């Protein structure tokens, strides 16, 4: 099984006291099955760019620029045409029902569905309505 990590999951590594079950799940899952989206890279960069210049900001920038590409070499996924088409279908379908999906979350969902991956996130609220999307919340469970 392949797993697409939401920003909240990979960001646990940057916390002074990361949630133990998330770290346990990440350590128990073979690295070759863990993927990131280029959208997640953008979300992390946005967060870093909003920080005042500081040692913490510099460390986070180094983590994003050096550690993430090394750890996820060949496993950072771009948003391709198939994903965009599925995203459009999802947004149209749910939009007709009056349920507007957050853009980045729905693009992550479309990425996971189109590539037959499980989306790993704490944010079940925004994702649980999307049919066909497999979710895993490592804050609640450490089983693979």
Helix (H, G, I), strand (E, B) or coil at 27: helix
Q: Count of H helices and E strands in the chain? A: 8, 5
| Rounded Cα distance, 121 and 51, in Å | 24
pTM: 0.94
**Banded model confidence at residue 141, pLDDT cuts 50, 70, 90:** low
State the CATH architecture for 3-78+118-136. Answer: 3-Layer(aba) Sandwich (3.40)
At 142 the pLDDT is 56
Domain ranges for the chain:
3-78+118-136
Helix (H, G, I), strand (E, B) or coil at 135: strand
Task: Please classify residue 143 by burial: count the beta carbons closer than 10 Å to its beta carbon, then call 0-12 exposed, 13-18 middle and 19+ buried.
Answer: exposed
């Amino acid at each position: 099984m392949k797993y697409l990590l939401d920003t909240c999951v990979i960001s646990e590594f940057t916390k002074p006291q990361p949630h133990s079950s998330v770290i346990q799940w990440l350590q128990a899952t073979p690295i070759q099955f863990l993927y990131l989206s280029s959208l997640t890279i953008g979300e992390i960069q946005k967060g870093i760019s909003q920080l005042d210049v500081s040692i913490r900001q510099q460390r986070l920038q180094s983590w994003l620029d050096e550690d993430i590409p090394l750890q996820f070499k060949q496993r950072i996924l771009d948003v391709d045409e198939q994903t965009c088409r599925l995203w459009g279908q999802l947004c149209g379908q749910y939009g007709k029902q009056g349920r507007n999906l957050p853009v980045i979350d729905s693009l992550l969902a479309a990425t996971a569905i189109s590539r037959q991956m499980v989306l790993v996130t704490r944010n079940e609220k925004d994702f649980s309505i999307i049919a066909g999307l497999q979710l895993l919340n490592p804050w609640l469970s450490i089983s693979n």
